[in-house]
Structure 1
C-alpha cells in the first residue's frame, strides 16, 4: 500500500483492504444515489443496481495477466521477483474418495489465507471499470462489484445499465474471469415499486436474463427496492436471536458472572450487528430505531441476567451504555470528522 496509494493506482471506489476505507463507503454512495434519483429530484427518475457474482474470483486470477499488469505499473524489480516467486511454481492435487491425482501446476489463483492475495486481486482488477460509461456509477470491495445508474424511463435505464454490464463482461472475458448470472442480483428503485412497467428492467449476461428482485444483500446490508430498510431490520432480528441466547447462556453458566465482561461481550457480538450500516439508517423514520432499541434492550438484559420487564431507563443507567440511536449519531460524527481529516 505504501507504493500503491501515493501513485493512485487503485480505483477511487475500490474500498476493499485499503486504509481509511470500509464497506460503508460504497453502501452510503449507492443508497444516497438511489434516494436522490428516485425521491429527491423534481422529476422522479428510475434507478437500478446490479450486483455481480464472479465465479471463484481469487482462484481465477490469471498469473501471466497479473504479472503483465505488475510490469506495466513498473514495480521495483525486487518486489517483482518476490511476487513472481509467490505466484509461480505452485502445484495442487485432487483427491476423490482416497484417490489422489498426479500433481499439476497452477496457472491461476492467489494462495488462500495469504494477506497478500486480496491486494493482488484488487491490483488485477484495478482497470475493470475503465470501459464503463460516465452515466454509470460503480462500487468495488475486493471481488464484490456493483454498477448503478438512473434515467427518466425504464427503457433508457435498461439500455444504460446493459451497456455498462456488457463492457464489464467484456473485460472479464479478456482477463479470464467468469461472471455467474444466476447468482447476480438486480434491484430496480422506483417511486412506484408495485407498478408493472410496460418495458421492465431485464439485463442479459451471457445467455441468461437477470430480472429485478425485491431485495438483496450488499456488503452485509439488505437493500430493498423501496429503500425503507424493513427487510434489513428483520434480518438483524433473525440473526441476532442466537447471539442473545448465547449471552443469556454465558451469564447463567459463568462461575462468577462479571457485568463488565458480559457488557464487553455484548458490545462485541450483539451491538456490532445492531449498529452495522448506521449512516443509512439515520432517517426521519424513528420506527427503525425503536425496533433496534428493542433488540439492544433484549441483548443487555440477557447479558446481565435481568428480567424481561426491567425498564429501559434502568438498564442504560446502570450500564452507562447509550441508547442505540445516540450511539449511532456519535459514530456518524466521528465518521464525518475522519472523512474531513482524510480529505
Structure 2
C-alpha cells in the first residue's frame, strides 16, 4: 500500500523539487475507482492509498517510499531489500559462548521486529504475517531454541 501523504513527506525530505511534488499531489488528488462486473457498475469509491494498478509509477513510488527502511535497524545486521521483500541476516559475535550467541541473536531479532512494527504502523504499511518466515542456519546438532515475539 502507498500512503499518499507519507509518500509526499518522504519526497519532501529527499529534497524533491516543488514542481514534482505538486505534480505528484495532483496525480493522487480525487482518484476514484469503479468496478465493472458483467456490465454491472459498482459505486464509485475514493482511493486514498495505492498507486494506480499497472502504472509505471507504482513500483518506483513503493521503492522510494521505503528508502529509509534499512536505517531503522542496528548497524550490526545486514539488511537487504528487493521490491517488497525484506531479508535481515544476523550473525553473532564469534567471541561469545554458544548460549550467549543464541541470546544475543534472540535479543537483536526481537528489538528489530519491534522497530519494524513501529515503522510499519507509522508508514501505514501492513505486514503480512502469513508471508513472514524465519530461517535459522546453525552448525549444532540440535536446533537452538529462540523465542521471537511479533504481534
Q: State the TM-score bracket (shorter-chain normalisation).
A: 0.7 to 0.9
Matched residues, number:
144
Between Structure 1 and Structure 2, the one with more helix by share is: 1
1:120–1:186 Cα change, 3 Å:
same
Larger radius of gyration: 1
1:196–1:70 Cα change, 3 Å:
closer
RMSD of aligned residue pairs (Cα, Å): 2.0
Asked whether the equivalents of residues 95 and 101 of structure 1 are also in contact (C-alpha less than 8 Å), the reply is yes
Asked whether the equivalents of residues 136 and 161 of structure 1 are also in contact (C-alpha less than 8 Å), the reply is no
Separation (CA, whole Å) in 2 of partners of 1:190 and 1:66? 39
The residue aligned with 1:9 is none
| Counterpart mapping for 1:166-245 below 5 A | 166-192=114-140, 194-197=141-144, 200-206=145-151
TM-score (norm 2): 0.83
1:190–1:99 Cα change, 3 Å:
same
TM-score (norm 1): 0.39
Residue in structure 2 matching 1:120, options 61, 68, 74? 61
1:98–1:154 Cα change, 3 Å:
farther
Unaligned runs of 5+ in 1: 1-59, 207-343
The residue aligned with 1:141 is 82
1:72–1:196 Cα change, 3 Å:
closer
Unaligned runs of 5+ in 2: 93-97
1:109-141 deviations in Å (ceiling 9; x for gaps): 012222221111111111122221122210011
The residue aligned with 2:70 is 129
Question: Is 1:158 equivalent to 2:106 in the alignment?
Answer: yes
